Structure 1
Amino acid sequence: MSNISLVNKSTPTTPGSGSGLLKKEDYWAVWIGLGTVILSIILWAAGSTAMPALAVSFPAWDQFSKVSVYFHSHWGGIVALWFCFLVVFSIAVKVLGHNLKSFIPGFTILFILGVIVSILGASSLAKKWSLEPPLMALLVGLILGNVVPLPKWLDTAFRTEFYVKTGIVLMGATLPFTIILQSGPMAFLQATIVAVSTFLTIYWIGTRLFHLDKRFSTALAAGGSICGVSAAIAIGGSVKAEKNHVSVAISLVVVWAIIMVFALPIVIKALGISPGPGGAWIGTSEFADAAGIAAAASISEQAIKTFTLMKVVGRDMFVGIWCFIMALIAVTKWERREDGRKPNGKEIWFRFPKFVLGFFAASIVVTLLIASVDAPTAKTVSANIVGPISMIRLWAFIFTFLCIGLTTRFKELAAVGWRPFAAFTAGVIVNVPLGYILSVLVLGGYWTMVK
């Protein structure tokens, strides 16, 4: 990556790229997420309470003594949670080719920061301002990342995309597959309308008004219309955009994601929009998965569900098709190739974000389990499997937001330049109002019924 260090400090790779399944971050996110789900089911069937013990969640407090009491009685679970995360992530990081000597202490520091922001996010003051732990993690990360000089060896622990992909797979276990089947087509229709409109706006203004390179404008448009950082990387790679152009697109995604993660919940609450449509609006108009989840979490669990349907089902899962289309355009329209080769259908699979498949698989597994038992047993499944997985998912998103904050440099954002920023912002001007119209005014009744 160029000198803009916003997401991971490593060179961005396209989803599905690499040499072998063991070298693909997407697959590791799937294995870890599904492995956690399956292990939870096995432990529950065996009568073990190991998973609930890992569901570390600090209670709401206005006096710190409550935190002290909780910490004293749950310190074993906190240590166990750190150890489990460390072991699983360390195996993946080692196989992916990163340095464990740096990752282990780096992740330990990240986990300690996660504990701190979880405590801060549970305070009455944070609750008043809707600063859920992921948002608190972002604030703390931004402050530390721009005030405190961080040692270079910490970079290995800042696996932003890895953490968020793992969290999204785990999210599948908390979202019944029946809802996906019922609402997925509507989510895809709404997301397609907004994505195509936003993409064309950014691309047209970037190329025609500001005379930016076609590939640069494509990376900007992908990041602002499809699925944020992953789309900028994947589609930027499919059209052979320059690495520094992809980095600029990533930086703008992060800038607007940070703005929207605070602005959208405030507007939704101020306008009295119900959680279902509110979550769908966030899913349509937020630029990054982790930011959107944090924004939706500040509203309600229903908002998280409708956000997930819009963002993950409606937008993220089709990044592979977008990659294929743009690669086809780049090869046939923008490039002159002597060998005459053209991209084929396999390109869709190579570019497809595999963690989305893990999301669906987790949802199917838990849905089938709940459907196969009686009502009282289903409640124990929710308490001993779905509940703990939800908390582990939350921790994955806390790590994600800490990494975003710790690797975002305001000085580097200022160096992006006004033309790319203006082109991307034009997309925001189209995206947000259109998302409101579709989510609240046109389909508000529909999204309200999604429970």
Structure 2
Amino acid sequence: MKSAEKREFEGDQLKKEEPQKNSLNTEDWWAVWLGFGVIGLVALSLLSSPVLPERWGTEAADTIFQSIPLENVPGLFITLLSSFLVFGIAIFFLKRNSFKNFVVAFPVLFLITTAAFVLGEFGPWRHYGFNDVIWALALGLFISNVLKTPAFLKHALHTELYIKAGLVLLGASILFDRMLALGLLGVGVAWIVTPIVIILMYWFSQRVLNMQDQRGLAITISSATAVCGVSAAIASGTAAKAKKEEITLAISITLIFTIIMMLGMPALVSALNIDAVVGGAWLGGTIDATGAVVAAGSLLGDEAMEVASVIKMVQNILIGFVAVAIALFFVSRYENKGLNKKVSGEEVWTRMPKFIIGFLGASLIFSFVLPEQAVETYLPVIDDYRGVFFALAFVSIGLESNFKELAKGVQGGKPIILYITGQLLNIILTLLAAWFFFSGHFFSLPF
């Protein structure tokens, strides 16, 4: 049986993810404010490049102690302080009651993240793709599954906030003409395959698996698989009035397979000798979580990461529309209320991930507003902070993922069969779409 503290924490996590109405004080909006705050401070020369561990295991620096020279310690402390202030402001307004706990926990999270950077800068391992992202996840998983994540540290695990703020910064690195071209091609991958997978998965759950008594769970798993994992699970589960336990189960299944796919699919792309850009499109359309997509795409190179990120964001836009469609379907089909209710644009807007606006805004500013010299000056600093934010996120993912506890939820057969069957269909259809739109045989690519 779960402890009261754990139940309370999981309840807070679930509540944190629920769609909120017409408020600027949400995690999505704070990701936008924080992203633009970092960009503004860099532009005003008030925020310098973060100091991080250096490359070691080479002739120039052969020992681990040379990864953080003594003279870099003050700069590393300033990087900790800067990161704390950035996210501390958001936590103060989002979860003021737990702010004191965040103050205590965040330095420990940053220390683990720094260790991931040290391991990721080991030259021989980095040559084979074992970068800081992989080590961030690995360290988090080791602590969670072998040592057990300390209760106090959970107050610093704001994974989605770290990822979304980093994605806003990523927008500065993707010029708008490239993003527009990639986005239009990405529509073919994300908006064609996604509804097909949702519909066929739900049909499979009802006609083959006979999950008539678990309709809410079935549609929640289907949406999480086809769209974007946790956020889609909560939005669609809420729309279908699924039980809280069903939404939690769908999230558990998604988290388990997201980690497996994040590590396994880049290796599969390499093993099958698939073009990196096509592989990036494949990852963007199939891996459930946005942050995991970025991590997996980075293993295939910058262009693959760019393609994967844009496709996942294009897919994220569907969250609101999918949730509304599910609500209408369940109301008319199972609650016998008809289709008299008109769906407002406000409802769609409420459910749409707002951090996408920050991503687009950053891309527009760096594409059309700032002079080229300013872009060349600011981008290296912004990219470094993006790397720090992503590393914080992946340590958090690992610390939140306990395989024993997640596995308990998938016992019983039908939910796991539904997910695996649907994900296999998703993988096959998305690979075909990725090859058609991003192979260069049918459409020109902006590279």
TM over 0.5: yes
Would you say the 8 A contact 1:202–1:423 is kept in 2? yes
Change (3 A) 1:108 1:328: same
Aligned to 1:420: 415
Change (3 A) 1:440 1:4: farther
Residues 273-284 of structure 1 mapped to structure 2, 5 A cutoff: 273-284=274-285
Which one scores higher on RCO, CA 8 angstroms, separation ≥ 6? 1
Deviation at 1:343, TM superposition (A): 4.3
Aligned to 1:257: 258
Aligned to 1:42: 44
Deviation at 1:441, TM superposition (A): 5.3
Deviation at 1:303, TM superposition (A): 0.8
Would you say the 8 A contact 1:223–1:232 is kept in 2? yes
Q: In the TM superposition, what whole-angstrom CA distance separates every residue of 1:264-303 from its partner, at most 9, and x where no partner exists?
A: 1112122222322121111112111111111111121111
Would you say the 8 A contact 1:219–1:246 is kept in 2? yes
Residues 143-292 of structure 1 mapped to structure 2, 5 A cutoff: 143-212=142-211, 213-292=214-293
Letter in 1 for 2:42: S
Deviation at 1:344, TM superposition (A): 2.8
Aligned to 1:75: 73
> Greater CA deviation, 298-307 or 62-71?
62-71
Change (3 A) 1:331 1:343: farther
Q: What is the RMSD computed on CA atoms of the aligned residues?
A: 2.6
Deviation at 1:10, TM superposition (A): 2.2
Q: 1:447 & 1:243 partners in 2: Cα distance? A: 44
Q: Do structure 1's residue 450 and structure 2's residue 446 form an aligned pair?
A: yes
- The count of aligned residue pairs is 435
The runs of 5 or more residues in structure 1 that have no matched partner are: none
2:14 is paired with a residue of what secondary structure?
coil
**Structure 1 segments of 4+ aligned residues over 4 angstroms from their partners:** 2-9, 13-16, 340-343
Change (3 A) 1:441 1:345: closer
Could you tell me the percent identity over the aligned residues? 27
Q: Do structure 1's residue 381 and structure 2's residue 375 form an aligned pair?
A: yes
* TM-score (norm. length: structure 2): 0.90
Letter in 1 for 2:48: M
Letter in 2 for 1:415: K
Q: Do structure 1's residue 390 and structure 2's residue 383 form an aligned pair?
A: yes
The runs of 5 or more residues in structure 2 that have no matched partner are: none
Q: 2:435 & 2:71 partners in 1: Cα distance? A: 44
Q: 1:68 & 1:193 partners in 2: Cα distance? A: 50
Q: 2:187 & 2:71 partners in 1: Cα distance? A: 46
Change (3 A) 1:13 1:322: farther
Residues 22-37 of structure 1 mapped to structure 2, 5 A cutoff: 22=25, 24-37=26-39
Q: In the TM superposition, what whole-angstrom CA distance separates every residue of 1:363-405 from its partner, at most 9, and x where no partner exists?
A: 11111245x44xxx2xx632x3111211211111111111111
Q: Do structure 1's residue 20 and structure 2's residue 23 form an aligned pair?
A: yes
Aligned to 1:94: 92
Would you say the 8 A contact 1:16–1:354 is kept in 2? no
Would you say the 8 A contact 1:8–1:158 is kept in 2? no
Q: 1:109 & 1:366 partners in 2: Cα distance? A: 34
* TM-score (norm. length: structure 1): 0.89
Would you say the 8 A contact 2:175–2:367 is kept in 1? yes
Aligned to 2:359: 359
Change (3 A) 1:278 1:67: farther
Deviation at 1:60, TM superposition (A): 5.1
Aligned to 1:348: 348
